[in-house]
Amino acid sequence: MAEEETQLEEGPLLVLKWDHGLFEQIIRGFRFPPEWDEQYPRQGQTAADAPPGYITLFEEFFLKGNFRLPATEFMAHILHFYGFHLSRMSPPGMVKVRHFKFLCRSHGIEPTVEKFRVFYQLIRNIGFYSFGNRGSAKKILLNPPKSFHD
């Protein structure tokens, strides 16, 4: 993992509020192939309670972060560089990565981890990873989401 990580407070993972109808809508709308064998979480589970061989993906990844599967090479480079799994990224972190990629592409620039690190640094909060603005770097996402409620 990158040495620049900023530690924030840790605590227990919150029980997530799941919506079965939205789960089914994402499965159909994003055309998950049957071999992925997606599973709706049980009542009271947290994001860390995925069964062996499964990962947790947040609805906000798809609906607010514009995440798609399979993941892009840029996302894979980010995860590899920082040394954590996609299921450990917070939804606001996903928004920042995708926003950065869109900005680069809109200006004809190839997004890279090195360029991303000019603007962002890794942060960890309650066992999940996100990205905070790097010190004196110019903000490129002026109103980033702090969290997604419900």
Q: Identify whether 122 is part of a domain.
A: yes
Rounded to whole angstroms, the Cα distance separating 89 from 93 reads: 6
Q: Identify whether 143 is part of a domain.
A: no
Interval 19-32 mean pLDDT: 90
pLDDT of the residue at 18: 75
- Give the count of domains, the chain: 1
* pTM value > 0.95: no
- Higher pLDDT among residues 15 and 102, named by residue: 102
User: Residue-wise over 115-132: b if at least 16 C-beta within 10 A, else e?
Assistant: ebbebbbbbbbeebbbbb
Structural domain that includes position 103: 6-133
Interval 30-49 mean pLDDT: 87
- When the pLDDT of each residue in the chain is averaged and rounded to a whole number, the result is 82
Tens digits of residue pLDDT in 48-57:
788 888 888 8
Closest Cα partner for 73 from 99, 110, 109, 103?
110
Q: Identify whether 149 is part of a domain.
A: no
Q: Identify whether 98 is part of a domain.
A: yes
pLDDT of the residue at 148: 54
Q: Identify whether 93 is part of a domain.
A: yes
Q: Identify whether 59 is part of a domain.
A: yes
Q: Identify whether 28 is part of a domain.
A: yes
Q: Identify whether 80 is part of a domain.
A: yes
Band (123; pLDDT cuts 50, 70, 90): very high
Band (88; pLDDT cuts 50, 70, 90): confident
Q: Look at phi and psi of residue 18 and say left if phi exceeds 0, alpha if psi is from -120 to 50, else beta.
A: beta
Band (47; pLDDT cuts 50, 70, 90): confident
Maximum distance among all alpha carbons in the chain?
47
Band (145; pLDDT cuts 50, 70, 90): low
Interval 6-10 mean pLDDT: 50
